[in-house]
Amino acid sequence: MPKIIFLPSEEHCPEGMVVEAATGESILNVALKNGIEIEHACEKVCACTTCHVVVREGFDSLEESDELEDDMLDKAWGLEPESRLSCQAKVADEDLVVDIPKYTVNQVSENH
Q: What is the set of domains in the chain, with CATH numbers?
A: 3-111 (3.10.20.30)
Are 30 and 7 spatial neighbours (Cβ–Cβ below 8 Å)?
no
Say how far apart CA 2 and CA 108 lie, in whole Å.
33
Say how far apart CA 82 and CA 69 lie, in whole Å.
13
pLDDT exceeds cutoff 70 at 108 = no
- In this predicted structure, what is the pLDDT of residue 110? 44
- In this predicted structure, what is the pLDDT of residue 106? 62
What are the CA-CA distances from residue 37 to residues 30, 50, 68, 112 (Å)? 10, 11, 24, 23
Q: pLDDT by residue (tens digit) across 36-94? A: 999 999 999 999 999 999 999 999 999 999 999 999 999 998 999 999 999 999 999 99
